[in-house]
Amino acid sequence: MFHKYKWAAALLGVLLTAAPIYWLTSWLEKQGEAEATITARWSVAAMDVAIGDAAATIREIAARRTATCDAPYVNELRQRVFRSHYLKEIAIVDAKGQTVCTDLGNTFSVRDVLVSSATPQPGLMLDAVRTDTDEQFLRVRLVGSRGQPSIAALLRADAMLPRLTSDGERFSGYVRIALVDGTVIAAIGDENEKAVLREEGVVSVVQSESYGPSVTVAMRRNGVIANYNDLRRIGMVLTGLIAIVILAGALIVPWRQTQTITSEIERAVLAGEFIPYYQPIFDIRTGKLLGAEVLVRWRKPDGKLVSPGEFIPLVESSSIIIDITRSLMRKVCSDIGTTIEARPDLYISFNVAPRHLKDSAILNDVGAIFEGSRIRLSQVVLEITERHELENLTAARRAIAALQALGCRTALDDVGTGDSGFSYILKLGVDIIKIDRLFVEAIKTDPQAQAIVATFVDLARNLRMKIIAEGIEKAEQIEYLRQMGIVAAQGFFFAPPLPAHLFIQLTETLVTRSSKEEDVAAPVKGYVAAIDQIAAA
């Protein structure tokens, strides 16, 4: 069962980590494709504008008068080139497209016409030309009527090619503008990288509907993580990822720990590792032993003792606490049964978890374990804590009454520490109230603690309940408690919770003075001395 959770947690971890990475990768891919398409569309639009501008200019010039190479005409051409952003050169060309003269007179840059292709616009041709510096350009040319010379305009490549990405960053890919037959007329980026780009990049091709040439854009997929916005988005994803992992860890680790310790406790119950310790309870007027409270200890296989504070809260709300209580009760019978049987006025007090009161489970357990055992039901006290409010007061009240009918006594533990106040004491009908260590500690210095204890004493007297004071550590506390009329007490001043053999020795020494002096363990001598001191006072 535990292993199932472990695998589920591991699978969850993998999914939590893989999902954002998968998402980031596919986002980058989409982003790359979108960027390439945007760039291609932008270039086609720029090219269409450049061709359109050039075509309009040369049509207008041609419409005015027949093209010649005379100075005024050439001058006018030069004016046009200067004024236009798109034009590099305007030339007068012959019927075959060869340059006759340009806006600079007889100097011209076109060396070869590589290909000519018709456009959807009547009378308008597009040429790929090579210049004497070995660059290729796009030329827009009017077709002259009946072998007449006509006008052609060379376009600036940089007016059509993208310099920036859509986010305003430097463009880092390969862009090529080609005529319909594939002849390249303008390109930027590293041509050699093209192959690589095709393999691990994204390619977008967009064709101009107005004039025919196409723009090819090839970009590296990761080429798009170049700008601030992208980095910020990735940073957000990574931060989110880390947050998810931390959150999952924060949820899973304590849960796993609880799982681990719970299954460990289940095993320990079966292995009998929960053992009772016994804290003696005394009459502080006479020093007489009245009984003991059973306090559980977890004795690990390595001998280490674990205090109940480290595991009781973890199992108090599960049925494991019921198993622990049952096994403690049986262990108490076998540990000290003989000692207790011989002294019918001693009682043994057990701590009972609130959930054990439900469905009269406690009643069945107490009956099954103590009926016919060495410990009489009249020697059994059951402590119910006031710390957590009981879910169902009526059911608790009924369970307490049934236990009393069986012959047991009940005690309300930690009185004064809960929120429920005196109402509990009144409603539950317990036989004993145990005043918490907090009040005993404060009794000397805090008048409010004194007042509360005084109220408890009054209440107990009226309702015929006994009182046990917990956590006595100093002789002066005993003095106060006596003055207030409290009789029974337990605490480190007398003895801490003791293992069974020491508790038996202490009992025998105190009650019958039967143990021989030399058989008594040194600590027990100390406890006896403390108690004798009380009796003498």
Applying CB under 6 A, the residues found at the interface with ligand C2E are: 279, 295-296, 307-309, 312, 321, 325, 328, 351, 353, 385, 413-414, 437, 470-473, 490-492, 497
Q: Is 437:417 a contact under the CB 8 Å cutoff?
A: no
Nearer CB in complex with ligand C2E: 44/321 = 321
| Rama region for 33: left / alpha / beta (φ>0; ψ in -120 to 50; rest) | alpha
Question: Cβ closer to ligand C2E: 422 or 492?
Answer: 492
Cβ distance to ligand C2E smaller for residue 331 or 343: 331
Partner from ligand C2E, Ca ion, none binding residue 291, C-beta < 5-8 Å depending on class: none
State which residue, 109 or 327, has the beta carbon closest to Ca ion.
327
Quick one: what does residue 382 bind among ligand C2E, Ca ion, none, with the CB cut-off 5 to 8 Å set by partner type? none
Closest CA to 534 of 467, 482, 499: 482
What is the C-alpha separation between 459 and 117, in angstroms, rounded? 112
Q: Which of 219, 196, 206, 240 is nearest to 28 (CA)?
A: 219
Q: Give the nearest distance from C-beta 296 to ligand C2E in angstroms.
A: 4
Pick what 410 binds: ligand C2E, Ca ion, none; C-beta below 5 to 8 Å, kind-dependent: none
Among Ca ion, ligand C2E, none, what binds residue 40 when CB lies within 5 to 8 Å by partner kind? Answer: none
**Please, which of residues 408-467 interact with Ca ion by CB under 5 A?**
413-414
C-alpha distances out from residue 164 to 219, 378, 497, Å: 13, 93, 81
Measured between alpha carbons, how far apart are the two ends of the chain, in Å?
Answer: 60
Whole-angstrom distance, CA of residue 71 vs CA of residue 85: 23
Residue with tokens 């009329």: 485
In the bound complex, what is the minimum distance in angstroms from residue 8's beta carbon to Ca ion? 38
Q: How far apart are CA 163 and CA 188, in angstroms?
A: 9
User: Rounded CA gap, 476 and 472, in Å?
Assistant: 9
Structure tokens belonging to residue 441: 């500690």
Q: Which of residues 375-394 bind Ca ion (CB under 5 A)?
A: 383
Part of the chain binding Ca ion (CB under 5 A), chosen from 85-93, 200-208, 445-453, 470-478: 470-478
Exposure b/e, 466-497, CB count within 10 A at least 16 = b: bbbbbbbeeeebbebbeebebbbbbbebbbbb
Q: CB of residue 388 vs ligand C2E: minimum separation in angstroms? A: 11
Tokens of 353: 């978890």
Rounded CA-CA distance 234/223 in Å is 14
- Under rule CB under 5 A, which residues in 302-361 are in contact with Ca ion? 351
494 SS3 class: coil
Residue 269 CB, nearest approach to Ca ion (Å): 20
Please report how close the Cβ of residue 286 comes to ligand C2E at its closest, in angstroms: 20
Rounded to the nearest whole angstrom, what is the least distance from the CB of residue 309 to ligand C2E in the complex? 5
Q: Which is nearer to Ca ion, 50 or 382 (CB)?
A: 382
Query: To the nearest whole angstrom, how small is the minimum distance from the Cβ of residue 390 to Ca ion?
Result: 16
How far is the C-alpha of 412 from the C-alpha of 433, rounded, in Å? 5
89 or 470: CB nearest ligand C2E: 470
**Nearest CB to Ca ion, comparing residues 102 and 349:** 349
Q: Which is nearer to ligand C2E, 109 or 490 (CB)?
A: 490
Q: Which does 43 bind (CB under 5 to 8 A by kind): ligand C2E, Ca ion, none?
A: none
Binding partner of residue 497 among Ca ion, ligand C2E, none, CB under 5 to 8 Å per kind? ligand C2E
Task: Quote the least distance from Cβ 427 to ligand C2E, whole Å.
Answer: 21
Please say which residue, 215 or 472, places its beta carbon nearer to ligand C2E: 472
- Pairing status of strand 466-469 against strand 488-489: parallel
β 184-188/201-207 pair status: unpaired
Interaction site with Ca ion (CB under 5 A): 351, 383, 413-414, 470
